[in-house]
Chains A and B, each alone.
Chain A
Amino acid sequence: MQAELIRRRGIRRRSLLLLASSALALGGASPSLAYTAYVTNERDNTVSVVDLDKMQTVKTISVGQRPRGIVISPDGKFLYVCAGDDDIVQIIETKSQEVVGDLPSGPDPELLALSKTGDLLYLSNENDALVTIIDLKERKALAQIPVGVEPEGMGVSPDGKVVVNTSETTNMAHFIDTDKREVVANVLVDSRPRYAEWKSDGSEVWVSAEVGGTVSVIDPVKHDVTSKITFSVPGLRSEAIQPVGIRFTKDGKIAFVALGPANRVAVVNAQTHEVEKYLLVGQRVWQLAFTPDQKYLISTNGVSNDISVIDVANLKVIKSIQVGSFPWGVAISPE
């Protein structure tokens, strides 16, 4: 009965969407919605392929054990998925939607980031306190850089010169010079830093602290925390607010922060650092990704086994789409 209800609600939402899109068509704008979202499902060892035009899961790809971090190549041809419990990064060809190979990731890869040119992969090895750099063409590890205990988040600067890695037990953001391939600065943040994201103009790096419940705004030149963003949701205990994924709009005006078991995505004014709104999404919201036109933001909701689609212009959650078990990471096909 519950399933039926959800389905009906889904139909109603879909028809609303249809209405909205036809209104847009009448207005002369052509909605370019041919995007595909790829969602790693941590529990059932799969990647869900979600058609963002149809707003539904269209295929499920079997991958290695405990898939979490996922990125897509700039040309959209390959996905790179961390299969942590198999100690590999798998390569999925988007055209055939099949695993076509793997990369020597080092043990227990969790999160990864692509260089701006798309030829290098930076990934964190949680068990060994290392960041591994992989040459994608040669499929070979180029270097391993010692960082703090339990490295996780990985953010590449817009000019590609710096990678910020966060270490969960050391509680630091490590600034790695990508040419020298060494740590050049360490910035202390709050407990269990999970994710690092640069503003597109390179002026700030934001680092989320899952257990600390804050986002630290770091000046990447001075290597200082310039301000700290806190969150509070009425009726929700503060311990439940656990910031993880972060995304900025291209114009640098709005930041979205996934708040984990608070089941909300915070909308933050990226200039004043004020929290403006909390969007209720699914349970244990983890990572975020924009569609390339930034019309939609997708959140992965681990406990409710779905993703939420957020209308960025209107700051509204417009749809939940069922995926696999414990969705964790998300990557979206480029234009």
Chain B
Amino acid sequence: MTSSCRLMPRLRRLALILLLLLPFAGGLPGRAADPAEIRIGYLRLVESKQQPISLLDEPNDDDGIAGARLGVEDNNGTGRFTNQHFSIEDLRVKPTDDAAAATKSLIDKGIMLIIVDLPPTVLLAAADAARASGATIFDAGSIDDSLREENCRANVIHTAPTRSMLADALAQYLSWKRWQRWLLVTGSHPQDALYADALKRAAKRFGATIVEERVFKDTGGARRTDSGIVQTQRQMPVFTQNAPAYDVLVAADESNVFAGYLPYRTWDARPVAGSAGLVPTSWDPAHDSWGAVQMQNRFIKLAQRRMKAIDMQAWTAVRMIGEGATRTQSADPAKIITYIKSPSFEVAAFKGQKLTLRDWNLQLRQPILLSDGRTVVSVSPQEGYLHQTSELDTLGYDRPETKCKLN
């Protein structure tokens, strides 16, 4: 605010000189001339995504990778003191490309830790290609439960939450609000049905009733026309008309076809949750608790935009690798992964508590934020949902239910 609080140029220079002198300042042992290098791969699918309903949700070219880059910067902040250096290699594949070959190309360069933002089938191809070489995949982008259940892999660690975790987080809050009669509206794409299944499971677990389920058919077409509002305003009330008495409309629309049009347009005056309205997510650009402001500031400085869930999931994967490298004092990927899979592993990620790994399917336990797009309304698990191991295990498939067999 005042000019006195800004760093003076001379001090900046002094700080820089001190920084350069640091390697000679003693401290942790093993300070060699060259820092140990930890290389991380980032593999992502580039596809032409459909326009979002809101301009505010436009995808960015550096979605995810920007979070990973910040993680690398943070790890290198620590690496200055531990004589380790982290770097990231960004590799994009097109839907027609061979993801397994792309994975192998990273491994051929000696990169054994690979963060991916890929759809489930492509991810599995990458994972199986990595497995032969002993490389580990960090799934930062897919919320698919099957990747943690029947299709789980011993070399895939998941930092993205699952659909079931997101649905349970929402259901716990709606239950706390006593909004227990849901009108479920599902999109017509396969992943919408998966999310609807997770929501139905959540409703059952947390005492909600689905009074009716409707399907909103995606008939295609352009998202944005100059007179679009007129039609939507007429279409949505009619679509939600004649529903049985309900407390909240829950929408399953992962393809962003219609849910964004629901709030304020339902026939009955009811709140919307799920894919629009109150949305469960691993991160929100408005999240400001538990030191998150520092994280948001650092991200904006680096990426010149606000931080999204995919950025946070990628950042967390890089920080997990950083924790492994710091705690084991090693740049050996095998040692890093052994540590991450051990009971001593924990990582802080601005969620008010430590995040740990579910040993039965390598899913990162994490609180889920509930955002209305402007602020974080609540954070689940909600108070009172108890668990013998971790309250975070009230979100998603728990150990006794798992179909995963790691080998």
Q: Which residues of A are in contact with B by a Cβ distance under 8 Å?
A: 86-88, 102, 104-108, 126-130, 141, 143-146, 148-150, 167-172, 174-175, 181-186, 188, 190-192, 210-213, 223, 237, 239-240, 242, 261
- Once A87-B5, A88-B5, A237-B391 are accepted as A-B contacts, the answer to whether A130 and B25 lie under 8 Å apart by CB is no
Query: At the interface, yes or no: B291 with Cβ under 8 Å from chain A?
Result: yes
Determine the distance from Cα of A175 to Cα of B28 in the docked complex, in whole angstroms: 11
Which of A144, A185, A242 interacts with B7 by CB under 8 Å? A144
Query: At the interface, yes or no: B4 with Cβ under 8 Å from chain A?
Result: yes
- Once A88-B2, A211-B354 are accepted as A-B contacts, the answer to whether A144 and B21 lie under 8 Å apart by CB is no
**12 contacts across the A-B interface (CB closer than 8 A):** A102-B2, A127-B298, A144-B18, A148-B77, A168-B291, A183-B25, A184-B27, A185-B26, A190-B346, A212-B348, A237-B390, A240-B353
Q: Is the CB of A107 within 8 A of B353?
A: no
Determine the distance from Cα of A105 to Cα of B323 in the docked complex, in whole angstroms: 31
Q: Is the CB of B81 within 8 A of A186?
A: yes
Query: At the interface, yes or no: B238 with Cβ under 8 Å from chain A?
Result: no
For B132, list chain A residues within 8 Å (CB). Answer: none
Q: Is the CB of A146 within 8 A of B5?
A: no
Which of B15, B80, B348 interacts with A169 by CB under 8 Å? B348
Q: Is the CB of A149 within 8 A of B77?
A: yes
Q: Is the CB of B25 within 8 A of A148?
A: no
- Once A88-B2, A144-B11 are accepted as A-B contacts, the answer to whether A186 and B77 lie under 8 Å apart by CB is no
- Once A107-B5, A127-B298, A185-B27 are accepted as A-B contacts, the answer to whether A168 and B348 lie under 8 Å apart by CB is yes
Q: Which of B15-32 contact A (CB under 8 A)?
A: 15, 18-19, 21-22, 25-28
Q: Which residues of B are in contact with A by a Cβ distance under 8 Å?
A: 1-2, 4-8, 11-12, 14-15, 18-19, 21-22, 25-28, 74, 77-78, 80-82, 291, 294, 297-298, 319, 323, 326-327, 346-348, 352-354, 390-392
For B71, give the chain A residue with the smallest CB separation.
A169
Determine the distance from Cα of A128 to Cα of B18 in the docked complex, in whole angstroms: 14
Determine the distance from Cα of A210 to Cα of B88 in the docked complex, in whole angstroms: 29
Q: Is the CB of B22 within 8 A of A127?
A: no
Q: Is the CB of A182 within 8 A of B25?
A: yes
For A175, list chain B residues within 8 Å (CB). Answer: 27
- Once A144-B15, A146-B19, A191-B346 are accepted as A-B contacts, the answer to whether A106 and B326 lie under 8 Å apart by CB is no
Determine the distance from Cα of A102 to Cα of B77 in the docked complex, in whole angstroms: 30
3 closest Cβ contacts across the A-B interface? Answer: A239-B353, A87-B5, A149-B77
Q: Is the CB of B18 within 8 A of A191?
A: no
Determine the distance from Cα of A108 to Cα of B390 in the docked complex, in whole angstroms: 34
Q: Is the CB of B2 within 8 A of A129?
A: no
For B354, list chain A residues within 8 Å (CB). Answer: 191, 211-213, 239
Q: Is the CB of A149 within 8 A of B74?
A: yes
Q: Is the CB of A211 within 8 A of B7?
A: no
Q: Is the CB of A105 within 8 A of B5?
A: yes
For A184, list chain B residues within 8 Å (CB). Answer: 25-27
Q: Is the CB of B348 within 8 A of A211?
A: yes
For B329, give the chain A residue with the smallest CB separation.
A188
A220 to chain B, nearest CB (A): 13
Determine the distance from Cα of A185 to Cα of B27 in the docked complex, in whole angstroms: 4
For B11, give the chain A residue with the smallest CB separation.
A144
For A104, list chain B residues within 8 Å (CB). Answer: 4-5, 8
For B19, list chain A residues within 8 Å (CB). Answer: 146
Q: Is the CB of A171 within 8 A of B11?
A: no
Determine the distance from Cα of A182 to Cα of B26 in the docked complex, in whole angstroms: 10
B311 to chain A, nearest CB (A): 16
Given contacts A183-B81, A184-B26, 16 further A-B contacts (CB under 8 A): A87-B2, A87-B6, A141-B8, A141-B11, A145-B15, A145-B18, A148-B81, A149-B77, A150-B294, A168-B291, A170-B81, A172-B78, A181-B18, A183-B27, A212-B346, A237-B391
Determine the distance from Cα of A242 to Cα of B348 in the docked complex, in whole angstroms: 12
Q: Is the CB of A171 within 8 A of B77?
A: no
Q: Is the CB of A169 within 8 A of B5?
A: no
A98 to chain B, nearest CB (A): 18
For A127, give the chain B residue with the smallest CB separation.
B297
For B15, give the chain A residue with the smallest CB separation.
A144
For A192, give the chain B residue with the smallest CB separation.
B348
For B392, give the chain A residue with the smallest CB separation.
A239
B194 to chain A, nearest CB (A): 29
